[in-house]
Structure formats: C-alpha cells, structure tokens
Structure 1
Amino acid sequence: MTILGIDIGGSGVKGAPVDPAGGDLLAERFRVPTPQPADVDSVVEAVAEVAAQFDGFDSIGVTFPGVVVDGVTRSAANVDKSWLDAPAARLFTERLGKPVTVLNDADAAGVAEVAFGAGRDQSGLIMMLTFGTGIGSALFLDGVLLPNTELGHLEIDGADAELLASDRIRETEDLTWEQWAVRVERYLRHVEMLLSPRLFIVGGGVSKKSEKFFPLLDIRTPIVPATLLNNAGIIGAAIAAGQAAAGPGAQHPGAIPVDAAAPA
C-alpha cells in the first residue's frame, strides 16, 4: 500500500508518497507556500496542488496545526479562524477524491518518531515537542498516542508557553541561544512537574541545532532530537491514514485511538 502524506505548516504545505510499513518517502517531496491568510478554501486548494503532483496512492493523510477530533478541526491558533469546527476530513476527501485522514501536526510528527525515529521501542510516558511557529506536543504511553494534548498552550506567567519559548519568539525577539534556553528550560521543568515523562523528543526546525541549546538545559528528563526532521509530519500522516484504512484493530507503534483521526 502506498499512502500520500501531506503536512500543512506555517510557511509551507509539503507532501510525498510514503511506504507506511517502513516509513520511507517514495518520491521527492513537493512543497507550495502556505496561503496567507490560511483560510479553509485556500488551504484545501494548496493541499490539492500538492496531491496533484503524485499518483498511485490509495489514501491520504493530512496534518493540521490544531486540535482534530473525528476529522473536524476544533482549534485554529495559528491558522485562519474559518477552520474552527470545519469538517476538514470531508472537505479534503471531496476535493481530492480519495479517503483522507486528518490529525494534529505534532501528533503526526510524534507518531512517526515513535514508529521509526527517536521514540522507537521506548516504553512509559514519552513526549514529543515541536518548537516552531508555536509549541506542539504529542504524548505517548507505551507507544500509544494520547491525541490533541496541545501542551504548548500551558500557561506560564499568564500567557501561553509558546508565546514565551517557541522558535518564532526566539527569532522575533532576537534571543541568543543562552537566553532562549532559559525559557525552554522553564517550560520543560513545568511539564516535568505535571507529567514526569520518561523522555523528551524535540522536533521542529530547531531540532537540527540541538547542540546549541541542549547542553544549556538543566532538567531531569533525558532529551533527544527528533531523527526524521522535516519528513516527520508527512510520515506520521501516512501512518495515520494507513491505520484508518486497516481498521481499528490494526496494531502499529504510535497507534492512534479511532476517534482521533477519522477519515470522512
């Protein structure tokens, strides 16, 4: 089975066909800029433009930067408000003519890392955090996803944590790595206090520069960079679509509860 994975990001919409059994991209990624504003109609068309570059796939997985329940987008912190309560899976399915599964983007990245990356064969409570436009989170217990945690919105000093410690804030406030690490450490310690995870996996573009800030963090939990980098969302979306196609009894690392990523 070949599945198309498409990752909707803050700056780009990118996709590629994936072998969900091995996590390998079967062709070079294709990317288009994320529309501005990122309203429903514009983003659906951008996803269709990416999908049109490929053929031979059976179904499609799409990531979304917000909460997704039963294929419906329930939040829109970093996209246009027209996405609130939008029937995303149905809209994509109607436009693309193939079964589409939609899930949170950080959850997708985490599913990929647990299946094929830094979280593979890890037991206990594992947390994937993506530092980018915001802070995305994916939480796994013994390899099973607890969807839509949105822990980047934990309150610190009366504001969302991602307004303190996202990679976008590091860039817009021109913070040094040392200054930013202080903020990231505060956030991670808050998460440690609440959840006591066994492992932090850090993704997002900044994970490629982990050597610049990991040594500056004083936390109790082991922390490692994600290994799949910019392909994680694409791969995780394809895994989710493969699970949906196989039915609720399918077993796979990073397995998703059936209500979290339902096809239309």
Structure 2
Amino acid sequence: MVEKNGAIRTLSVDIGGSGVKVLVLDITGKPLTERARRETPQPPKPQAVIDAIVALAGTQGEFHRVSVGFPGVVRSGVTETAANLDPEWIGFDLATTLSKRLNNPVRVINDADMQGLGAIAGKGVELVITLGTGFGSALFVDGKLVPNLEMGHHEFRKGETYEEQLGRATLEKVGEKKWNRRLQKAIASLEHLFNYDYLYIGGGEAVRVHIELPSNVKIIPNITGLLGGIALWKD
C-alpha cells in the first residue's frame, strides 16, 4: 500500500452532476497531480460514471487508496439517494464496486461533507453549502461531522426547497442578479437556523456569488471538494 519511501498516495474523486474530477494527494493532503476532469456521462448511471473514474484514475499515476465524494446520502459505502444523477444509484455499493475496478481500498462520503472536511477550521459550529447542479450541505461541530444533513431538499421559501430556489437550472432561468438575492436570503435563514460560527460556500457556481458577505462567511475554491479526501483516512 505504500511506496518505497513510505508515502501513501490518495486518489481523491469528486462526482458531480456536471463533472467528475480526480487528483492525487500526499499524506498531508497536498496535491501531487493536476486535477483531471470529465463531463459526467449522460445518462449518469453507475457503470458509466465508474468507467469515467477509472479512465481519469489512469491519468494520475500511482495511488494506494481512494476517497470519493458523492452527491447524495451515503452509508457504509452504499449510495442511498442521487437526486442529480440516476435512480440506479439508489442502494448501489459504490465503495465495493469501485474498489474492485481500481484494486485499492475505497471510502465514500457525501460530496459536500468531503468539501467541508477540506475547508473547516475544526472549531465551533461550521456550516458548508455547495452551489452547483444542486444544493449541498454539511454541518460540523468542533470538527465532527453531523452526517446526512441533505438540507438542500428542505423547504426554503415560496413552497420550494433550497435546491429548487438555488440550483444551477434555476440560476440559468432567473439570472445571476435574482439568484444572488435569493442566496442572500438563504444565508440569513441559515444563520438563524444553525447559529453557526462560520459558513463556507463552495461548488462550481460559487464563482457567481456577487453579494457582500458577512465577515463569518467565506467562499472556498471548488478544488476543496477534492482536498477533503485525505480526511476520510484520518483513522
């Protein structure tokens, strides 16, 4: 599992509704390769997405273990929801299947959770939201993850969920100005709901946030979703 010099290399994988990304991290979480990306296969069924991951992994050189961020609820490596992929993912053992394809141990976690692991300071109440195809969320208390939050599918305003109001399809429909106003309302709502110490905003559409943010709200780069992969192996 280790190189001659004892260094463990982790392949970090981020599965999204629009793209699949990978890179290799050293034992400290520092990138050792350039990020590689492919469009998420359409339809985004398990076999097609796994084929894309395997192809991308082939561009990254040697690695000894794999961390995967998946856009849905994950329990013990099994994907239980997949709102922005395909129904075939429901009840799919992604960890075991991918481990057999890559011949290395695999751990799988929700993608927003993995992004949060790459962003948080580990003190107090920290909330992470991701703006992309959908609306991801992760909550941490003193660095410990509160699993399976899936806040994006809870009602936000006007009878619609956070994802329905702030997902990519809505952004393209209503435009950035209106979308940013909605995001501002969402931030105020979340602050009252969670009383967080810090809020981190990530995901592919975070670059389109153009509102003045409170001092305890920070935009994080999209690559954070991959950098969090090392935390899955902290034990």
Query: Which residue, out of 218, 230, 234, partners 1:238?
Result: 230
Q: Does 1:12 align with 2:19?
A: yes
- Distance across 2 between alignment mates of 1:106 and 1:205: 12
Unaligned runs of 5+ in 1: 115-119, 244-249, 251-264
Unaligned runs of 5+ in 2: 1-7
TM-score (structure 1 length as normaliser) = 0.80
1:167 Cα deviation (Å)? 4.0
Alignment deviations for residues 204-247 of structure 1 (CA, whole Å, 9 cap, x no partner): 1233344x22x1x6x7x821111xx121121112331x23xxxx
- Distance across 2 between alignment mates of 1:20 and 1:128: 24
Alignment deviations for residues 141-198 of structure 1 (CA, whole Å, 9 cap, x no partner): 0111112211111213322211112344112x14242x22221122223322322111
Identity of aligned residues (%): 36
Alignment deviations for residues 19-75 of structure 1 (CA, whole Å, 9 cap, x no partner): 241x22101112222100100111111111111222321101111110101111010
Which stretch has the larger CA shift, 185-194 or 33-42? Answer: 185-194
Give the 3-state SS of the residue equivalent to 2:69 in structure 1.
Answer: strand
Q: Does 1:45 align with 2:59?
A: no
Is the CA contact (8 Å cut-off) linking 1:123 and 1:142 kept in structure 2?
yes
Is the CA contact (8 Å cut-off) linking 1:48 and 1:96 kept in structure 2?
yes
Give the 3-state SS of the residue equivalent to 2:59 in structure 1.
Answer: coil
- Distance across 1 between alignment mates of 2:230 and 2:123: 23
Tell me the residue number matched to 2:149: 149
TM-score (structure 2 length as normaliser) = 0.90
Amino acid at match of 1:208: V
- Distance across 1 between alignment mates of 2:71 and 2:50: 14
- Distance across 1 between alignment mates of 2:84 and 2:37: 19
Residues 72-221 of structure 1: pairs in structure 2 closer than 5 A: 72-114=78-120, 120=121, 122-156=122-156, 157-171=158-172, 173-177=173-177, 179-210=178-209, 212-213=210-211, 215=212
Amino acid at match of 1:2: R
- Distance across 1 between alignment mates of 2:113 and 2:176: 29
Structure 1 residue runs of 4+, over 3 Å off?
none
Give the 3-state SS of the residue equivalent to 1:192 in structure 2.
Answer: helix
- Distance across 1 between alignment mates of 2:230 and 2:27: 6
Tell me the residue number matched to 1:117: none
Give the 3-state SS of the residue equivalent to 2:205 in structure 1.
Answer: helix
State the number of aligned residues: 227
Amino acid at match of 2:70: F
Amino acid at match of 1:169: T
Is the CA contact (8 Å cut-off) linking 1:59 and 1:98 kept in structure 2?
yes
> Aligned pair in 2 of structure 1 residues 93, 198: CA closer, same or farther (>3 Å)?
same
Tell me the residue number matched to 1:2: 9
Give the 3-state SS of the residue equivalent to 2:119 in structure 1.
Answer: helix
RMSD: 1.7
